Chains A and B, each alone.
Chain A
Amino acid sequence: MPQSPSLSASGSASPGLARILFRRSEIGLVVALLAVILFFALASDTFLTVRNLTNVLGQASLAMIAGVGVAIVFISGEVDVSVGSLVAAVAIPLITVMNATESLALGIAAALALGLCVGIVNGFLAAYLGINSLITTLGTLFILRGGVYLYTGQKAIPDDVMLESFFQLGNGRLFEVVPYPALIAFALLLVFAYVMRHRTFGRKVYAVGGNPEVARLAGYDVKRVKFTCFIISSLLATVSGILLASRLGSAVHVAGLGFEFQVVAAVVLGGVSLSGGVGSLFGAALGVLILSFLSNGLGMLDLATEWQLVITGFIIIAAVGFDEWKRRQP
């Protein structure tokens, strides 16, 4: 039987091209993405420029990095909505430490430390104490945001030392073309896609999300797998937060408001099921890209925000509805 190393969610290398096409929802997403790009390329003459396309990639990368983490948590059968506040919270240690030490590395370390703590708390509450993860992370979403407001007194903390390396991280471009955030996002996406497909940890995540009881019977430490997923998600959101802080040049207390909705919508649009065990990181990334290009293109058409919201809403319904319909076909 011809077997190609496939990166599909279920890890199935199905026989027959037709079946592969119908099985793998990414194809549908790629088509949708191309359709969006084609539409705006025809509708606006400033859309299809290298500068604009790379802009969008850079803008999408924040949601993409956090989206990879959220998708992993979804696949494990849990949810994580705390990322919206976390991206704002991690900027505080980052900027504060940088201001104090003039060291980007120490700042990043401090941010990652906070991200790690949040991941541990989420994971401990959800995986080990068994508190529903939506409740847990909704709780940490509120707590972190409130904490940020309390700590900053509802003011941004400016970056006083203005390290060039920090500025470049979120604003610079490789060869003046590809934004660094986009490079980081794609690198992380590839690494975690590999992990999810080719390392036992990844398969455990799918198994735990697909059927936790079975996973337990197969000798997996279900709690630890889920715990780890929360930590991964928080650390990736921290990376998003660091890049965001660089783009904003400060720790902004209102940064990332509603970011969790954006990420969840994109991840679900990308075919990652909320009920666990299903979906792929590439799908999630495609979901992010579709929404980013949509937002950029609608802006190019000079459509008011209200139209952008309405159109995006209908497109989400249409896209997910089509995906569901396709899935139901025999």
Chain B
Amino acid sequence: MHAETLTRNEAIPLDVPALAMRGIGKRFPGVVALDGVDLTLMPGKVHALMGENGAGKSTLIKILAGVYGKDSGTIAIGGVETELKTPRDALKKGIKVVFQEIALISEFTVAENIFLEEYPRRADGSIAWKTIRAEAKALFDRIGFAVDPAARTGDLPVSQQQMVEIARALAHEAKIVVMDEPTSSLTPKEVELLFVVIRRLTALGIAVVYVSHKLDEVFEISDTVTVLRDGRHISTKPIGEHTHDSLIHDMIGRRIENLFPRSRTGSAGKVALSVEGLSTDTKLKDVSFEARAGEVLGFFGLMGAGRTELAKAIVGYDPIRTGRITIDGTALKPHDTRTAVSLGIGLLTEDRKLEGLMLELPVQQNMSLAALSSFAKAGFVDEGSERSAVQSFVDRFRVKTPSLFQPIKNLSGGNQQKVLLARWLMRGLKVIVVDEPTRGIDVGAKSEIFALIDRLAGEGLAVIMMTSEMPELLGLSDRIAVMAEGRLTATFSREEATQERILNAAIA
């Protein structure tokens, strides 16, 4: 029965809206997340949902998924008004959601996660494990996704987990498929794959909601765009009526002159970080490079190339087998984050939730963590100066939060990222390693972060940036290092670097 899921469902009429949300309102303590928002989806069309961080996109989607109850408004599916009280209701109505935060059970196999919502069963009611594995394999083959269905999900890199999530949305019949930032950690190749899948879905008459901060993707895949700002509905237009600039203007209410500002003039200074012959038991092999004060050193690599491992090894988080890391001439003790941090190196991690956020704690505690000792006199924390420092960063980065005491789990993803970046900037650093710094961040905030990185480098910081975004790599980096399978395969200067050369080195 599952094999037929990808054929056109004749029962879906193409002229009735698959979904009509009208006047949706939702408030959280201290925040109006949504205020009278409309969203209409037509069958077989891709509808992009855009807006700054905290605009309310995920909230709208969670209402659609039955996760949150709405405070006001109506929802009609296929022309029939309904209530979506629980995720189960939504699933039954044929709404499949790929959430922004990965929603898989890491202890389960990939195949089991695919069928989490409804296990195929045998006649006696027991779970048909063979069917599950076979169907998962068949599904993956169909969408050209090469992953072992028997692998433990938690062992997969983030990008593959995200693909598993997407595949999961296809395992059962759906009328509406919603994707909340599905590509935030996908490689370009996987994004292509995803688009093929989306086009297949629309051909079947399925309505797709697509949330992304990546303008190029939106222009490529979507038919219609709805823009939200501060929880309000700003515009809904066919994509053809938009330009890059008009879309950005709708989203943030202003124009962005230059996404990749370059104010730095001076050349790079002395060596701030030097890594020699670094190898780990798991992935890295003989990596050597230098980063200079005042430069942005970009790292590129395909998924699993080892950038995250490199980042964690340099800051002393993961053990290393051989190699020497020095900061400003002082050698680091291996596997010792504390001295690394005290010598002035910090890592903005790729996995916010697992390694960055203290979810239950307020914004203030989250932001001041790394710099806390600098607010302390004789072991006592001066909370006054701590708070004013935090407040100034909240203002500068435009972190959207009702107060400094808001538990950080209630902030939108982008705002959480800003808090974590601020965590490091509050503390004087010599080297900052940023791993996918703009993952899940809106254009406005992106340009702010880019400006910030530029300014930090201008102030003499060595910035090491691991990113999978080619434009941001080319736009910001002074030099670009490329990794493949745990080795450093090439280093280009800003002038030498082209997309082809970089990709060639990454495949090598």
Q: A residues engaging B (CB < 8 A)?
A: 1, 3, 5, 9-15, 194, 197-200, 203, 206-207, 210-211, 213-221, 277-278, 330
CB of B109 within 8 A of CB of A12, answer: yes
A203 adjacent to B112 (CB under 8 Å):
yes
For this complex, 24 residue pairs linking A to B, each with C-beta atoms less than 8 Å apart, are A1-B148, A5-B129, A9-B107, A10-B107, A10-B152, A12-B152, A13-B150, A15-B150, A194-B126, A198-B126, A199-B127, A200-B119, A203-B127, A210-B105, A210-B107, A211-B105, A211-B106, A213-B103, A214-B104, A216-B67, A217-B65, A217-B87, A217-B97, A221-B88
In the complex the two chains form, is A11's CB within 8 Å of B88's CB? no
Residues of A with C-beta under 8 A to B148 = 1, 15
Q: Are A14 and B150 in contact (CB under 8 A)?
A: yes
Interface centre among A11, A200, A277, A278 (most CB of B within 10 A): A11
CA distance A218 to B67 in the complex (A): 10
Q: Contact partner of A3 among B103, B105, B130, B282, CB < 8 A?
A: B130
A3 to chain B, nearest CB (A): 6
Q: Besides A13-B150, A199-B127, 7 other CB < 8 A contacts?
A: A9-B107, A12-B108, A13-B129, A199-B125, A203-B119, A217-B97, A217-B103
Query: What's the interface size class on B, roughly?
Result: 20 to 34
Among A12, A194, A206, find the residue whose CB has the most chain B CB atoms closer than 10 A: A12
As a 0/1 sequence over residues 22 to 56 of chain B, the CB contacts with chain A under 8 angstroms (1 = contact) are 00000000000000000000000000000000000
Flag B46-80 by CB within 8 Å of A: 1 or 0 each: 00000000000000000001010000000000000
| Complex CA–CA separation, A199 to B104 (angstroms) | 19
B window 84-139: CB within 8 A of A: 86-88, 91-92, 97, 99, 103-109, 112, 116-117, 119, 121, 125-127, 129-130, 133
Neighbouring B residues of A330 by C-beta, 8 Å: 281-282
> Which of B86, B92, B121 contacts A200 (CB under 8 A)?
B121
Q: Are B107 and A1 neighbours in the complex by a CB distance under 8 Å?
A: no
Q: Which of B99, B106, B108, B112 has the most CB of A within 10 A?
A: B108
Min C-beta distance of B70 to chain A, whole Å: 17
Chain B: minimal CB distance from A216 (Å): 6
Inter-chain contacts of A221 with B (CB < 8 A) = 86, 88
Give Cα A13 to B109, complex, Å.
8
Tell me which residues across on chain B come within 8 A of A200, comparing CB atoms. 119, 121, 127
Chain A residues whose CB sits within 8 angstroms of the CB of B127 once the complex forms: 197-200, 203
Interface contact B282-A1, CB-CB below 8 Å: no
B85 to chain A, nearest CB (A): 12
Is A11 a contact of B109 with CB atoms below 8 Å?
Answer: yes
Beta-carbon nearest neighbor of B152 in chain A: A12
B130 CB contacts on chain A under 8 angstroms: 3
With contacts A199-B126, A217-B65 taken as known, whether A11 is within 8 angstroms of B133 at the C-beta atoms is no
The answer to whether A1 and B150 have CB atoms under 8 Å apart is: yes
Residue of chain B at shortest CB distance from A273: B107
Alpha-carbon gap, A13 to B126, bound state (A): 17
Q: Which of B88, B92, B116, B119 has the most CB of A within 10 A?
A: B116
Q: Is the CB of B125 within 8 A of A12?
A: no
Are the C-beta atoms of A277 and B112 separated by less than 8 Å? no
10 A-B pairs with least C-beta separation: A219-B88, A198-B126, A210-B105, A214-B103, A218-B116, A12-B109, A219-B91, A210-B107, A10-B107, A218-B117
Query: Bound complex: CA of A215 vs CA of B116, how far in Å?
Result: 8
Q: Is the CB of A214 within 8 A of B105?
A: yes
Chain A residue numbers with a CB within 8 Å of B121 are 200
- Which residues of chain A have C-beta atoms less than 8 A from B282's C-beta? 330
Supposing A199-B125, A203-B127 touch, asked if A11 and B105 sit within 8 A by C-beta, the answer is no
- Over the window 395-411 of chain B, the binary record of Cβ atoms lying under 8 Å from chain A Cβ atoms (1 yes, 0 no) is 00000000000000000
